[in-house]
Amino acid sequence: MSTHLFNIHQKICSINELLVKVKQWKLDNQKVVFTNGCFDILHRGHIEYLAQTADFGDQLIVAVNSDASVKRLGKGDARPLQDENSRALIIAALEFVAAVVIFDEDTPIALITQVLPDVLIKGGDYNPLETDPTDKKYIVGSDVVKANGGKVEVIPFVEGYSTSKIEEKIRKS
């Protein structure tokens, strides 16, 4: 018997499980969309971003930074506020997300190289035309995706919504 919780857990994959899903999706001529992030406290900005990201294709993969990876990003000593398994479960609960994978590296370049998504998407602080990997606006993996015939897109931020602002508000209250 399948339950909602079981179905959510089925979306959380190892890299090898994800690659099996991707292979099948591509055989079925489905457009695979990829994005990544920490998604520490899911908020309106995340929901709008992820929903718009899903509209670019048929299957949305969300790569979630591991706890160690978040720590290395330097987002503050208290981050992540939620552990990687909790963050993955919350993202997997979104109906428009097809698969969630946790990655431990500083960037998802190895994952992008293996998945070869049709569309790679990041948020508004990135530039899809930037080619210098040392530039903060550079989208990691954009060169790989473009070389494979894919597209790279940026979705504007929803102003006023960020995990850092929510964390600050909580601390002040």
User: Any alpha helices (H) in 34-159, and if so which ranges?
Assistant: 44-54, 67-72, 84-92, 109-115, 142-147
C-beta of residue 158 within 8 angstroms of C-beta of residue 44: yes
Point out which residues pair with 121 in neighbouring strands. 153
Give the predicted TM-score (pTM) of the model.
0.93
Report the CATH number that the domain containing residue 37 is assigned in CATH. 3.40.50.620
pLDDT digits (tens, 9 = 90+) for 98-143: 999 999 999 999 999 999 999 999 998 899 999 999 999 999 999 9
Give the pLDDT score at 161.
62
Domain count, the chain: 1
The average confidence (pLDDT) of the chain is 93
Domain that holds residue 61: 4-172
Give the pLDDT score at 171.
74
Give the pLDDT score at 6.
96
